[in-house]
Structure 1
């Protein structure tokens, strides 16, 4: 495959010969036309001009995770089974440095760096159109290439996570699209773009923080990526209405690179997928960063590298054919302490060889199953040896196995902790609250307050009479047979008086203000030497949103703003 520099089209010697045939066919068509016949010759659309490996790129921007949390050491992680399942078809860089070359000010600055070759003093809260620098979007337009940016469901993070909004030249462009729906909604405009006859050469996708692993877990973000990219299908057979099922990825006339990119962290996760990418390839590159990503895109289309990108490598080792690694496999299961008669999910993580893989399971209790992700229920409490076998699709088929013990229990181990009301004070009741999990409820809770006193119940109160440190022990027992017991111990310090200062009348807690007595006659609220004092002539009248009440005599309001006067 090579680029014809005169035409800007991809081709080969075979294609050049085909072009000659087309020219001969054109002459034949002219003869036929003279004879009153019409011949229509259809030629597939040409790819974008350039010297690189792809004619389209889709960047899916994810957030705030370490590489190992998503991809382990490069062979996968049980917390991200779908994305890990893409690794045999993809390349990845375990030592990709989002904070490379002194990049700081992220999130926003990482998006700036990967799109313009510098950070230019940008930090979170960047204003729309506030960056007056040349960006990849300007470069593409100048070169006659097209781009589109899509920001999901209202784009709540604005330019911080959507780079085309940062630049003065593009923030008002119709190519910067803020959608009103989730990308996983089949009506979202990303699908009409990706299914069009001429999709943009460069497409940027910014999900919301509830989808991109910023505010949600790795496993939740992995589920979102699966729904977005393949829906209910698989990598080899994506479901209609998913990204990998669009014409951009299924039309043989296109060479589209999918780049799943995470901002921040060092090293940060990344994955490159497409027919020009080495499959199952783990890059040993140790000096790749945001500027390398930009330079890779610029080099692909023969664009002059911007700013710091000029000094960075183009990650060229990701492209081309690769010799498959030897097949190996491992598996994960959740929950890690499964209960009797409860569903356990097993996920195979084969790597190397030639995908797709065939996976079979032996669960150790006489049951078997097939599939990359399977579920099983154990009916007795004991340890079972689970064996997973993976076979690849190579001509001389490779086989790999992995075995691990799975211990099934009748109940999860009992665990308990407790909290105590802040700043316990002599002669004032302190409240202790137990939080007990697992085991078998109901639970029995007992307390040793460390001063010779005891108590019981999930919530208990105790009043200390001396100011010192006490070791409090809470003991929880469940209702299983045999019974489980768990304890929690903490040292608390009891003060002689509450310390602190309410400050001036402009910074009172609970909505107080000096003289605000909620309209109650003969009542007052004042600060005297930093202590809040109240006089209530009509006890019990009013509500707690205004203040707490004492008797008709003046009371001293303690430092804790939610405690009644004494």
Structure 2
């Protein structure tokens, strides 16, 4: 008989649910997540408007409620609930009466249900049953469905006891046995501290879209096990703790990460009586609204299926409507964005600001800036490192997975910069200043301060700017003056502003000449005249008449010529023989002869050191001109002296021979 009963329950479910119905939809994606808390056995007026339920009524005033919710409507009361009400809500049909699926028999039906639909659509489900779920499948139908049952259910005297935590059904649906602070203790309301397993899960990184929570009979207002006051205190402890709806205590349901998302829908549902209480809360729910719609569990299921565009489980669900009057009007998701500045330049920070309307928070942002870079910020800033046309795209995804996007073209100009130009070359005579005009021109709105510096190769010229620092708003000029000695120079001008540096080279040619003397020091006797050759060399093309003048210090020497004009050709060389004259009256001593050549403002000189010696010999002074007369005769002394030396040597040798002979004779005589 037991097997036959199971067969009939399963068969009726299969016949009733055959063929999922997919009608045209008017509304979808009103919420991203739904959390359903299943309460028990109260009339609408015993809870809503009852001062014994202050917390529930405060929540209802912030959300909506339906005064004509018929838990027994549309034939659901055929089983007198509770089982039929839970089955209608989750499977779209009544499958069996209370006790329809004992723990030892589970699973008891292959009927399609909302959990299987969610899984097929790529969505997740998580179901919690508090304190060992002693009512079994009657209050927690998931352990009776083939696709969600859990092997940790076992039989007790009347119900299957569910004692596994975080087990996974055959289709990947998570089932939890969660413990409350007063587990298994009835009629005790002194320590309603909530449910840690549930709140921990809601704080997780990726909670399921469909979450079901069945409290124990000690907390769900199930008469006579608990009452309205106890259930109200429990819900306050579970949802907000010692806080409030707007400021819930940590560790409570409304404080969790999931409820920080404004797209999460909280549904407090009572399985019976008729009319039964209900509270809908969330940002998508009208505040302070009381609906008079005649809704049932089938309407609740229809609303959830329509939200995710799921096919309706049964024809009765398809024939009902969503409880749309409880929800705020759905506004299509749209997005626009602006960029500031609208015409950026390279290396300039661009501020993007998005504006989202419609849809359901929270919103996620996906930016593509058209240069390979992305961002997930709502209002990012971005710096382009290259110029050109950029296709910027913003994709918005709301809390119900709706998407909207906008694409905008941004033209990025080359970077703000400046240009540097200057007079390319100058040619001046030595001593004169070469004048260069240096021009700085801003590009793409550049307004920085630019500093000018200069260097030369080879080193030599002295250059300076007037001014040396310029603030650019418009084109600005600076004058560079350079002076140097003869030669050609490569002058490098550098303009620096922050990280920007530009440089250019100009040419400086300094025309000049060089003066040298063949002898830089001379020794003269009084009355003697000697010459030094003065050479004038053109440098870098200097030409023209040069005035050459000479003088001595101290005075006493004669100079010839003392002054003379010499024409120097471009790139040429000119010579001048300068006679330095010492007379008989020139005093012995040291003299400096200064030879100066001048061409316009350019002068160069050379010094010749002169020493006039004292010719005195033995106290008698012989005139230099008479000594010169003796020079031809003095040259004869050399051969005469050599001849006399030969004669003296011969005589000495002969005398030595004679002495040797005499010594020989003396020795013989003595013998």
What is the TM-score normalised by the length of structure 2? 0.39
**Structure of higher CA gyration radius:** 2
Q: TM-score, normalised by structure 1?
A: 0.46
Which structure's residues are more often strand, by fraction? 2
